Amino acid sequence: QVQLVESGGGLVQAGGSLRLSCAASGSVFSINFMGWYRQAPGKQRDLVARISNNGNTDYADSVKGRFTISRDNAKNTVYLQMNSLKPEDTAVYYCRLDLPGHAYWGQGTQVTVSS
């Protein structure tokens, strides 16, 4: 069993910052990627950022230069530092853990950016 516990969402004004955290526990072996996806109402769930086991990162174009993903391998925890937030960043943010042959999702945390 693998569990993902997310924290750090909330309400912030445009231009503000938030930091999301996601801690993985359980049978966590050979992690391929840890990352964040988001889903706004009526839209599909899209990649925001992900980080590989050796530290390589991928970002959605819309967040490049504003968001930073990082990872603490010893704690199996991934972070998403979100700066210069915009109203269009409003969504439910989901943590995802990719192990060989299976992906696990967190329960989601709401991020709301007011204009």
Tell me the CA distances in angstroms from 107 to 60, 61, 87, 93, one per residue in order. Answer: 21, 25, 22, 9
Beta strand 109-114 pairing with 10-13: parallel
Q: pLDDT by residue (tens digit) across 8-23?
A: 999 999 999 999 999 9
Tell me how far CA of residue 104 lies from CA of 1, 15, 37, 52, 65, in angstroms: 10, 31, 12, 15, 27
Q: Give the pLDDT of residue 29.
A: 78
Chain segment 36-73, per-residue pLDDT in tens: 999 999 999 999 999 998 999 999 999 999 999 999 98
Q: Is 90 exceeded by the pLDDT of residue 31?
A: no
